[in-house]
Amino acid sequence: MVRAQGRPIPSVNAFSAPVFDHEGQAVLVVTALGHQDDLSTAWDSPAAAAVRTAAKEISQRLGWSPARGA
């Protein structure tokens, strides 16, 4: 997962996490973004947790398994 803190867009923060398919290939990215007053960039923030969970759940639906790595 990666985060953006006011860059490249001033005052806008974001988190992004990859989604993997059954072969461990990244096939899309889940992103949450919002104004810096509304979206904390703390790694343990609700937004970070939501992006992480969504990416993991979609990956699992596509057949990705943590045992296979990625």
Q: What is the pLDDT of residues 16-58, one digit of tens each?
A: 999 999 999 999 999 999 999 999 999 999 999 999 999 999 9
Measured between alpha carbons, how far is 5 from 24 in angstroms, rounded to an integer? 28
- When pLDDT is averaged across residues 57-64 and rounded to a whole number, the result is 96
Beta bridge partners of 30: 17
Instruction: Walk me through the domains of the chain, giving residue ranges and CATH numbers.
Output: 2-68 (3.30.450.40)
pLDDT of residue 43: 97
Amino acid at 47: A
Confidence class for position 67, pLDDT limits 50, 70, 90: confident
CA distances 32 to 5, 37, 67, 69, Å, are 12, 14, 27, 24
CA distance 10 to 54: 26
